[in-house]
Amino acid sequence: MTRWIIGPMAALAVGCAGGAPLDGETSGTLATTSATAMPTSTDPTTGPEPATDTSETTTTTTTGENLTSETGETETTTTGEPTVLGEYYPFTEVHSPITADVAAAMTAIAANGVKTDGVFAKVGGTHTASSNFLNCLADAVQIVELPPALQPAVDFFNASAAGMGATSFSRVSLAAMPGWTGADILAGAPSPLANEVTEISPRFAVVLLGTTELEVPPPEGVFTFADNLVAVVDALIAGGTVPILSTIPARTMPAGIDVYVPRYNAFIRALAQGRKIPLIDLNLALAGLPNAGLAADGIDLSVALADDMATPTPCAFGFSGITSGYNRRNLVTLEALARGKTVIVDGGPPPDATAPTLLGAGTLEEPIVIPGLPFADMRSTADSPSDAIDAYQGACMAMGADGPEFVYELTIDAPTTIRALVFDQGNVDVDLHLMTLTDAGTCVKRGDRELEGPLQPGTYFLSVDTLGTATPGEFAFVVLPEG
């Protein structure tokens, strides 16, 4: 895999509460950490490679190599080295890393309930309900130029029934319908999701949601989507089904809707990373294809056609086949199922020995270093080591934040517009604060759910802080370059 060593990340400058940009403003001098920009695409035709740490992070307190935590939880060292957090899912890989830590989390999920190892569920909307998605893998005649390493997975999942006369590949899922959203999948008692799980008892579930939710006007659309996706994922986990999440493909119709896709995908990544479950970056896998793998309508995926130019051949995996959206999705989904089978069913070693990690404790003294943009993270203020800030001054002095917080450090080297989003649920209420120093008196902008605006080069500090006396708890935090 290509190792990217690029200069300090492009930095951002959000305007003050009154709307004035921080032109000419730079960060303070407390931190000398720089973050490197992660490339936003890779060649999907080469298939997945083991994940490696693509960050080039230097900190004045570092002495020696970074230590990684076997448990994935925060590990504090006593030798002046930075705190190391759990695995970070890189934006440069089609498949998220399955290390020993992630494999242990997946195994713990499987222990929650007795399920059929050779069965998986399809959960989603249009792209998942399509007859072009996976169905052809139930028919050996339709499979052309399948990589030999994936044949055992095809045989394994075809050996178990998933309903009358079907395997998981060919089954018409009760939890996948054209145009469905997460709300549709969760609606009713029992819900379509519950009915599907009850009927086939799946060990895995391939989940792709968000394409239809894009049509809900911002900002509500992405936050409602996030709530529903958490509910879907947690319901599967509670019953012993291991979710395999997927980012959503590009969408170009109606015009202008594509700008919202990164926001949805960043949350999907944060959730997968927070739950330590597999993620397929389908958006990345399709990025290099003609029209980003989309059909002419700008919504559905393209599919390879037979010589008659009329018959779909979604299981043609030669060069001409995998330049089409459904063909590529079928291939990377099968890869993900094979990787999950290795860990959960075969009890084999995890596919990946190492993964990138985040550095920092999340305190004012040692912020979590954002290694590049886009960025996604998920954790809980209930586990925060810091409750040092009870009030912010500057442009944010009217808002109290009496609960625990996590502090992140962002360094950029060119004028950039960012969008930072924070997702919480239930009684949890966290707000975002942008500071120019590790000092609450330098707060220049706050937001209940998002901050957006231009930043000048420098180092900034983003605090995710519990508002007032609200209950501390789980949040997802993403930062995106926009404009």
Quick: pLDDT tens for 15-43. Answer: 333 222 333 333 332 232 333 333 333 34
How many CB atoms are located within 10 Å of the residue 26 CB? 15
Cα→Cα distances 276→22, 259, 338, 342, 440, Å? 37, 27, 17, 16, 33
Going by pLDDT thresholds of 50, 70 and 90, the confidence category of residue 60 is: very low
**Which of 6-20, 433-447, 466-480 bottoms out in mean pLDDT, i.e. has the lowest?**
6-20
Quick: pLDDT tens for 448-482. Answer: 999 999 999 999 999 999 987 778 999 999 999 99
- Residue of 34, 102, 111, 32 lying closest to 72 (CA atoms): 102
Q: If phi over 0 gives left and psi between -120 and 50 gives alpha, with beta otherwise, what is residue 189?
A: beta
Torsion angle of the four alpha carbons 21, 24, 28, 29, in this order, in degrees rounded to the nearest 10: 160
Answer whether residue 207 shows pLDDT above 50: yes
Quick: pLDDT tens for 378-387. Answer: 999 999 999 9
- What's the 3-state SS for 14-44? CCCCCCCCCCCCCCCCCCCCCCECCCCCCCH
Task: Report residue 160 as tokens.
Answer: 């178990």
d(CA 14, CA 147): 48
Q: DSSP H helical segments within 251-377, as ranges?
A: 261-275, 282-286, 325-344
Going by pLDDT thresholds of 50, 70 and 90, the confidence category of residue 398 is: low
Q: What is the pLDDT of residue 394?
A: 78
Element (H, E) at 200: helix 192-200
Query: What is the average pLDDT score of the chain?
Result: 85
Largest distance between two CA atoms of the chain: 69
Burial class of residue 341 (count of CB atoms within 10 Å of its CB; 0-12, 13-18, 19+): buried
Q: What is the pLDDT of residue 234?
A: 98
Contact 217, 250 (CB under 8 A): no
Answer whether residue 208 shows pLDDT above 50: yes
Q: What is the pLDDT of residue 399?
A: 62
Q: What is the pLDDT of residue 46?
A: 41
Query: What is the number of residues in the chain?
Result: 483
Domain boundaries, the chain: 44-84+362-482, 100-344
Which of the 8 DSSP states describes residue 144?
A: B
Task: Report residue 6 as tokens.
Answer: 């690029």
Going by pLDDT thresholds of 50, 70 and 90, the confidence category of residue 67 is: very low
| β partners of residue 405 | 386, 465
The CATH-assigned architecture of domain 44-84+362-482 is Sandwich (2.60)
Q: Mean pLDDT over residues 149-170, rounded?
A: 96
Which CATH code, of 3.40.50.1110, 3.30.2130.10, 3.90.226.10, 3.30.450.40, is assigned to 100-344? Answer: 3.40.50.1110
